[in-house]
Amino acid sequence: MEISFIGAGNLAWHLAPAFENAGHHINEVYSRQLQHSRRLVSNLYDAHTHSDLNFADSPSKLFVLAVPDDALEEVCSRLVLPENARIVHTSGTRPLSDLTHWMAIYSDVPVRTGVFYALQTFTREQTFMEFGEVPLCLEASDKELEDELVTMGQEISDIVYLITSGERRVLHMAAVFACNFTNHLLALAHDVTTANGLEFDLLRPLIRETLRKGLAADNPAQVQTGPARRNDLSTIEAHLSMLATQPRLAELYEVMTSSIQRMYIR
C-alpha cells in the first residue's frame, strides 16, 4: 500500500517504520514543523517531507492522521486528497463517524474512512516499537476498507480486533488510568525522592514488582497493599502532615487513599 502520514509525532515515529517493515511504501510525511517530518523521514526508506496539506497529486492510497485529537477537524478541513483515497485516524476516543462526517463536508472527492488505533504508549526518539504484541483496534466505514485494514494490521501485529467506536473509547479511558496516570504517579514519586535528596533508583525494584504482581493477578485489586488497603489511619495522617506544604500532592494522596479505602472497607 502507498501511504502518507499526516503528523510526525510520537505515534507516527513508530507506526510509519512498522508499515515499511511490512512491505508498504511511505511516500510523504506532513508536519507543520519541517524538522519533525525531516527527523521521521530520515528513518524511512524513500519518504519525502510534505509542507502543506494538499495531497491532490499524491500517489498514496492510504492517509494516516497522526495528529492530536483536537486538531483532527482543522486538519481534515484543509486536507486535499486524491481520488480513491482512504483515510484513517489513530485516536483512542474520536468516533469513526466524526471522520466520516468531516470527509463528507470538507473533501471534494469521496473518501473512505477508518480507524487504526494502536493500544500502546509511544514516544518519539525511543527505540522502535516491536508491534507484534501491540493490540490494534480497527474500524472502517465499509467492508472493503475493513478487510484492507485487518490485513495491514495482521502484517504488523498478532493482536488485531475489530472494535466499535464506543468500545474503543472505553479502552482508551481505561488506558489513561493504566498507563498515563500510573506514569504520572511514578513521576511524582521521582520528584518526592529527589527533592529530599534520595535516589529514585531505590524505588525501581518496588515498581517492577508492583507491575509484575498486578499483571500476574486476575484482578490487580487482589494484590493491593499499603496504608489505605490496611486502613492504617495514623500512617495516612503522618504522610498528609508531611505534605502540608504541598497541597497538590496532598490532594492527590487523599483522592487515591479514599479510592482504595472505598474498594476494600465495607
For residue 147, give the amino acid letter. Answer: D
Q: Show the site string, 187-206: x = touches ligand NAP by CB under 6 A, - = not.
A: --------------------
* 118 in contact with ligand NAP (CB under 6 A): yes
Q: How many CB atoms lie within 10 A of CB 83?
A: 9
| Segment interacting with ligand NAP, rule: CB under 6 A, options 16-24, 41-49, 114-122, 163-171 | 114-122
Residue 74 or 209 with smaller CB distance to ligand NAP: 74
| DSSP 8-state code for residue 119 | -
* Min CB(16)–ligand NAP separation in Å: 11
With CB under 6 A as the contact rule, the residue among 25, 32, 61, 101 that binds ligand NAP is: 32
CA pair distance 11, 226, nearest whole angstrom: 36
Ranked by CB distance to ligand NAP, the top (closest) residue is 9
Three-class SS of 166-235: HHHHHHHHHHHHHHHHHHHHHHHHHHHHHHCCCCHHHHHHHHHHHHHHHHHCCCHHHHCCCHHHHCCHHH
C-alpha to C-alpha distances, 47 to 24, 42, 153, nearest whole angstrom: 11, 8, 21
With CB under 6 A as the contact rule, the residue among 121, 182, 210, 224 that binds ligand NAP is: 121
* 7 in contact with ligand NAP (CB under 6 A): yes
* Min CB(155)–ligand NAP separation in Å: 18
* Min CB(36)–ligand NAP separation in Å: 3
Would you tell me which residues interact with ligand NAP (CB under 6 A)?
7-12, 31-33, 36, 66-69, 71, 74-75, 90-92, 118, 121-122
